[in-house]
Amino acid sequence: MTEFLKFTDISNKIKKTKKFEVYSAHDGSYLGYVHWRTGWRRYVMHFESECDWSIECMNQCYKFIATLMQERNKPEEHSDAVRRPSMFNISREA
């Protein structure tokens, strides 16, 4: 599969949530960042500039954020955490 985007982890290691800068894999231009939106309780993409995205670019970004959400929603082994349902119906492996 062709990669259109490059995600660079710039997370603060102290915080639970992650933050990633997003660059074009083609020319290295900065496109924005993926971060945790507290009020929405999910990761979102913030665009820094106007740019056109093909369906393949959007799909790669969607899959990246879906993976982040899956990782975040995994209950910790030592807790009795209850998963919240996702509005995106992200499949979770048992």
User: Distance (Å, rounded) from C-alpha 62 to C-alpha 66?
Assistant: 6
pLDDT at residue 1 in the model:
58
Answer yes or no: is 38 within a domain.
yes
pLDDT of residue 6 exceeding 50, the answer is yes
Domain range for residue 37? 5-73
Query: Which pLDDT band, with edges at 50, 70 and 90, does 90 fall under?
Result: very low
Number of domains into which the chain is organized = 1
Read off the pLDDT band of 11 (50, 70, 90).
Answer: very high
Q: Do 86 and 70 form a contact (C-beta atoms < 8 A)?
A: no
d(C-alpha 8, C-alpha 4), whole Å:
13
Give the whole-angstrom CA distance, residue 92 versus residue 7: 23
| H or E, element range at 31 | strand 30-37
Domain assignment of residue 37, yes or no: yes
Element (DSSP H or E) covering residue 58: helix 55-73
Predicted pLDDT of residue 15: 84
Residue 35 belongs to a domain: yes
Q: What is the pLDDT of residues 40-69, one digit of tens each?
A: 999 999 998 888 899 999 999 999 999 999
CA dihedral (54, 57, 60, 63) positive or negative: negative
